[in-house]
Structures are given as structure tokens and as C-alpha cells.
Amino acid sequence: MPGWLLDAWREGGDHPGVSGKPRIYVVYTGGTIGMRKTAHGYVPESGHLQRLLAELPRFRDVEVPEFVIEEFEPLLDSSNMNPSHWLRIADQIRRNYADYDAFLVLHGTDTMAFTAAALSFMLEDLAKPVVLTGSQIPLEETRNDAQSNLLTALLLLGRYHALLPEVMIYFGDKLLRGNRATKVSVTGFDGFDSPNFPPLGRAGIDIDIDWELVLPPRERSELSVVAIGSAHVGAFRIFPGLAPRLLEALLAPPTQGLVLECYGAGNAPTADPEFMRVLAEATARGVVIVDVTQALRGSANLSLYATGRALLDVGVVGGFDLTAEAALAKLFYLFAKGLSPERVKQLVQQPIVGELTPPASEFFGTAWTAADRQR
Ligand code: ASP
């Protein structure tokens, strides 16, 4: 562990409970982790997770930090989540920010990566850890991944609460940067990965954190929450045979931004003049079109191929190694700040909270400044 981290190390939390342990605030939004089996399939049921936890002495071991659970009303399957739920989670964290050492969000896996990416932008000046977790099998089942995900997330938050100032996903055995993560398996216990960024940590016999990768510590101040979700933005995966009319409808007013999931290094059917006309007309109106790759690994670098260059020529911008989830959240966020399309285009290509790595040789205008932040 580097020296500056050792300096930041503290045994107990800022707000140790009666037990002297760190205190974790848990926002329970729903998801498989706490669901109950019924004749209609798994459903979230209020209080069920808490009752199961009360029966498991492991969760009261001395090593486990104190935690309180605040439940969503109603509990949700995460496929029903939208930006208003992101805001509810963010507000619950903000209201309890001063009184707890770290925050755990229990969440369904289906949209967990979207929520993690969104929170990473919404929680400005975050200086305490926020971890999202869930499971593939509910805690009520004899064989499940819920207990280890929940227990390990609590333990690592208790141990490292002073040292991890970012939004993360803990799942399987990996601690991932939230805005780099994506769901990679519907059935495996290794449900998430961050293919373009190494895990921040791994839980094996020990919990090992790669401290060089963690965002630098931030001064503790009040947490501000940016409400995102009102901008007219979307995401679209291109495919062979795409009728440009379809894209034209998607890019029509009031659309402000679109994440275009393209092939390989950001390529698209640029030989189709209709496709190019649709893109050119949209960008001329000020629509920000961000090109990301459909591939799991690698970067949309539009200067690499002639097809990519043609996209640059009609005003599309490269999103490099942004995940589609992070690109969407970032567009929501930048437009929520009231920034001009030109500024959004510049900032979308620069890292704000560790969400992307631009190629070293490229220059995208002035970096994220206090003026952008103040909006
Ligand atoms: N459909 C569930 C959800 O996302 C799946 C899960 O939790 O794993 O809420």
C-alpha cells in the first residue's frame, strides 16, 4: 500500500457505532438477492432479505461492520429502473452521507452497470465508497452467491472505507470501477467485468486492492447530487441492413445526444450516402453522436480507418473505450449541466471520473474545468 494511503488509514470509522465499528448505510433497491420464490417466479418481497439476514449469525461477526438497511418502496426488479430511481438512491446517500462511513446499494443485476455509471457522475465530490452488489441466486436458496457477495462487500467497505472514494461494483470475486463495468453473464457467479479496465480488487483468500488504480482521495466536503435523466438522449446498436430512416427517427428533435454502438474500432456503413446524410443533418442541428464499440474490449478510435474518419467528418465523436452504459450516463450528466453541444462533444472524450482512457496522442480541447462543474 502506498504511503499516502497508509496516512489515510483509520481503524474505526468516522462514525463508529456503539460497537466502535465502521457504519455502513445499505440502500436495498430490490433484485434477485432478496427475492422470494413464488408460483409466478422470483419476486421481491418487503422485509424478506432482512428476515433472512437476522437468521445468519455470520452477519453479526466482530469483523463485520455495523449496517442499517433502508428499503425501497416498492422493491424493484432492476429492469424496471429509470433515472428517477438513480436519483432516489443518490438522495438517500446524500441525506446519510455525514453519518455513515460507506454505502452499499443492493441492486438487481440487469441494470446494475447503468446505475453504477450514472451514480459515478451524479455523486459529485464523492469522498467515501459506494459499492453496488446483488446476486444471481437469492439469499433464500441453499446454494447461492448472495451471502458471499453481501458479506464480502460489507467486509471490504468496513476495512477500506477511508480509502476508496468512488462508485464500484462488487460481484463474484471482483471489485470493479462502476463506470467501467458491464454485465457479462446471465448465469455465472462472475456476472460482471470491466473488460477495458483491470479490476480495482479481487477477493480470494485475501481481499487485494490494486491501490494504483483507485481514484485519488478527495477532501471530505458536502456531497452534491446532480439530477440526471431529463435530457433527451439514447443508445442505438447498428447492424447490417439498418434502414437509415430508423436512425433518422431516433435523431429527430428533441433528441440531444445518441450513443451509437458501432463495429470494431468504431466503424459504420459509411458507404451508404443516406446513412451519412442522416448523421450529418443531426450533428448540424447540434445532436451529439458518440461512437462506442460493440466489441467488449478495445476502443472506438475514429482516426484509424477511413470509415471512422468519414464519421468524424460528419461530426460524430469517438467515445474511445467508454462502455455503452457509461457513455449514456455521461451524456445524461453533461446535458444536465446545461453545457453546449460543442462542450459536451469535447468533454465526452475526456475522463471525468475514470470512465475512459483516451489515446495519449489525441487532443480534445480544454479539460473539465471548475466552470463546467459549477453549472
Ligand atoms: N431481473 C433481476 C434484476 O435485475 C435480475 C437480478 O437481480 O439478477 O432485478
Amino acid at 294: Q
Q: Which of 188, 22, 48, 44 is nearest to 107 (CA)?
A: 44
Residues 328 and 366 in one domain: yes
Residues 215 and 251 in one domain: no
Would you say the pTM of this structure is higher than 0.85?
A: yes
Amino acid at 358: P
Residues 267 and 307 in one domain: yes
Residues 152 and 84 in one domain: yes
48, 78, 184, best to mutate for ligand 1 pocket (most atoms within 8 Å of CB): 78
Per-residue model confidence (pLDDT) at position 364: 59
Residues 210 and 318 in one domain: no
Residues 115 and 147 in one domain: yes
Q: Which of 296, 328, 299, 330 is nearest to 194 (CA)?
A: 296
29, 32, 89, 115, best to mutate for ligand 1 pocket (most atoms within 8 Å of CB): 32
User: What separation in Å is there between the alpha carbon of 242 and the centre of ligand 1?
Assistant: 30
Residues 237 and 186 in one domain: no
Q: Which residues pair with 291 in a beta bridge?
A: 260, 318
Q: Which of 69, 371, 99, 132 is nearest to 222 (CA)?
A: 99
Query: Which residue has its alpha carbon closest to ligand 1 atom 7?
Result: 108
One of 32, 109, 115, 270 is an active-site residue; which one? 32
Atom in ligand 1 nearest the alpha carbon of residue 136: 8
Per-residue model confidence (pLDDT) at position 371: 75
> For 285-306, b where at least 16 C-beta lie within 10 A, e where not — what string?
eebbbbbbbebeeebbbbebbe
Is 32 an annotated catalytic residue?
yes
pLDDT tens readout for residues 80-114: 999 999 999 999 999 999 999 999 999 999 999 99
Count of domains in the chain? Answer: 2
Of 225, 248, 275, the domain-final residue: 225
Atom in ligand 1 nearest the alpha carbon of residue 134: 7
Query: Which residue has its alpha carbon closest to ligand 1 atom 8?
Result: 109
Of 225, 250, 269, the domain-final residue: 225
CA distance 324 to 195: 12
User: What separation in Å is there between the alpha carbon of 109 and the centre of ligand 1?
Assistant: 5
Q: Is the shortest distance between the CB of 83 and ligand 1 below 6 Å?
A: no
Q: Is the shortest distance between the CB of 134 and ligand 1 below 6 Å?
A: yes
Q: Is the shortest distance between the CB of 255 and ligand 1 below 6 Å?
A: no
Domain of 288, CATH number, reads 3.40.50.40
Domain of 163, CATH number, reads 3.40.50.1170
Residues 246 and 320 in one domain: yes
User: What separation in Å is there between the alpha carbon of 31 and the centre of ligand 1?
Assistant: 5
CA distances from 241 to 167, 245, 258, 305 (A): 38, 12, 19, 21
Query: Which residue has its alpha carbon closest to ligand 1 atom 3?
Result: 108
CA distance 86 to 238: 27
Per-residue model confidence (pLDDT) at position 372: 77
Per-residue model confidence (pLDDT) at position 156: 97
Of 225, 256, 277, the domain-final residue: 225
Residue 332 sits at the vertex; the CA angle it makes with 326 and 335, to the nearest 5 degrees, is 130
**Domain limits for position 334:** 233-373
Q: Is the shortest distance between the CB of 173 and ligand 1 below 6 Å?
A: no
Q: Is the shortest distance between the CB of 32 and ligand 1 below 6 Å?
A: yes
Which pLDDT tens digits describe the chain residue by residue (375 residues)?
A: 444 444 444 344 565 566 789 999 999 999 999 999 999 999 999 999 999 999 999 999 999 999 999 999 999 999 999 999 999 999 999 999 999 999 999 999 999 999 999 999 999 999 999 999 999 999 999 999 999 999 999 999 999 999 999 999 999 999 999 999 999 999 999 999 999 999 999 999 999 999 999 999 888 788 999 999 999 999 999 999 999 999 999 999 999 999 999 999 999 999 999 999 999 999 999 999 999 999 999 999 998 889 899 999 999 999 999 999 999 999 999 999 999 999 999 999 999 999 999 887 655 566 767 777 776
Q: Is 229 left (phi over 0), alpha (psi -120 to 50) or beta?
A: left
Q: Is the shortest distance between the CB of 77 and ligand 1 below 6 Å?
A: yes
Residues 68 and 201 in one domain: yes
Per-residue model confidence (pLDDT) at position 12: 46
User: What separation in Å is there between the alpha carbon of 129 and the centre of ligand 1?
Assistant: 23
3-state SS string for the chain: CCHHHHHHCCCCCCCCCCCCCCEEEEEEEECHHHEEEECCEEEECCCHHHHHHHCCHHHHCCCCCEEEEEEEEEEECHHHCCHHHHHHHHHHHHHHHHHCCEEEEECCCCCHHHHHHHHHHHEECCCCCEEEECCCCCCCCCCCCHHHHHHHHHHHHHHHCCCCCCEEEEECCEEEEHHHCEECCCCCCCCEECCCCCCCEEECCCEEECCCCCCCCCCCCCCEECCCCCCCEEEEECCCCCCHHHHHHHHCCCCCEEEEEEECCCECCCCCHHHHHHHHHHHHCCCEEEEEECCCCCCECCCCCHHHHHHHHCCCEECECCCHHHHHHHHHHHHHCCCCHHHHHHHHCCCCCCCCCCCCCCCCCCCCCHHHHCC
Per-residue model confidence (pLDDT) at position 2: 46
Residues 160 and 257 in one domain: no
Residues 200 and 310 in one domain: no
Residues 246 and 220 in one domain: no
